[in-house]
Amino acid sequence: MYKAIVGDNSFEIASGEAGMTLNGVPVTLDISQISEGYFHILAGSRSFRAEIVESEDQGKRVTVKVNGRVFPITLKDRFDLLLEEMGIQATAGSRVNHVRAPMPGLIVDLRVKDGDTVKAGDTLLILEAMKMENAIKAPGDATVKAVKVTKGEGVEKNQVLIEF
């Protein structure tokens, strides 16, 4: 599930076996990419031309122009919503000393090693939980001090995975 915040409005977007829903209501969209950053969207009998004007924070904030109107959009994925639900907020500018497991799971891929320099949003590792792969990303720019887990290792919620 995703949450899209457009101005003062919030929309829950989900996709499953039954198709796509918007705030719990089934919707049918036909989206065609015209060229890089340009799309044609059919929603029922309505037609829209969309352009991605700007994207920042690894796609978490985008500015989209739809039929000539500009919309700044903030996107939250399952991981962001889980952190919010747990009461953990991303604190810009604060120093992070380690990354903990947000849930129990299995380490299926490690993308960093001791001494690597990472930037905010870089994927550090892949954690599989409930048959879904979750990319654990760097909360800020840092140098990896120690990787505390190995590929194939099972981890518990709040276990330290990486130290900076």
CA distance 113 to 38: 38
Q: Please give the tally of structural domains in the chain.
A: 2
> What confidence tens digit (pLDDT) does each residue in 62-71 have?
889 999 999 9
Average pLDDT over residues 116-131: 90
Please report which helix (H) or strand (E) contains residue 115, including its range. Answer: none
What is the pLDDT at residue 153?
95
Q: Do 72 and 99 reside in the same domain of the chain?
A: no
Are 110 and 71 members of one domain? no
Claim to verify: residue 138 and residue 105 sit in the same structural domain? yes
Considering only residues 148 and 61, tell me which one the structure prediction assigns the higher pLDDT: 148
Question: Domain check: are 72 and 135 in the same one?
Answer: no
Note whether residue 149 is domain-resident. yes
Q: Which two tokens stand for residue 152?
A: 């194939």
- 156 & 125 share domain: yes
100 and 37 in a common domain: no
101 shares its domain with 72: no
Decide if pLDDT at 151 tops 90. yes
- For residue 48, give Cα distances in angstroms to 37, 67, 89: 14, 6, 35
pLDDT at 79: 80
Token pair listed for 128: 């599989």
* Residue % of the chain over a pLDDT of 90: 43
What is the phi/psi pair of residue 81, to 5°? -65, -35
What is the residue-averaged pLDDT of the chain? 87
Residue 40 has pLDDT above 60, yes or no: yes
Instruction: Quote the tokens at residue 9.
Output: 């409005």
**Residue 144 is assigned to a structural domain of this protein:** yes
Domain end marker among 76, 108, 128: 76
Strand residues in 101-145 grouped as ranges (E): 105-110, 117-118, 123-129, 132-137, 142-143
Instruction: Look at residues 46, 76, 106 and tell me which one is the last residue of a structural domain.
Output: 76
Does residue 82 sit within a domain? no
Q: In this structure, are residues 15 and 28 in contact, taking their beta carbons and an 8 Å threshold?
A: no
Please check whether residue 122 is in contact with residue 137, taking contact to mean a CB–CB distance below 8 angstroms. Answer: yes
For the question of whether the overall pTM of this predicted structure is more than 0.75, the answer is: no
Say what the pLDDT of residue 141 is.
Answer: 86
Enclosing H/E stretch for 80: helix 78-85
Asked if residue 15 is part of any domain, the answer here is: yes
Q: Last residue of a domain, which of 76, 111, 131?
A: 76
Q: How many Å is the Cα radius of gyration of the chain?
A: 19
User: What pLDDT is attached to residue 85?
Assistant: 74
List all residues 6 or more positions away from 80 whose beta carbon is below 8 Å from its beta carbon. 3, 60
Task: Decide if 147 is inside a domain.
Answer: yes
Q: What is the pLDDT of residues 78-119, one digit of tens each?
A: 887 777 777 665 544 456 788 999 889 999 999 999 999 998
60: containing domain: 2-76
Is 87 a member of any domain?
no
Task: Assign residue 54 the CATH number of its domain.
Answer: 2.40.128
- pLDDT bin (cut points 50, 70, 90) of residue 34 is very high
Residue with more model confidence, 157 or 93: 157
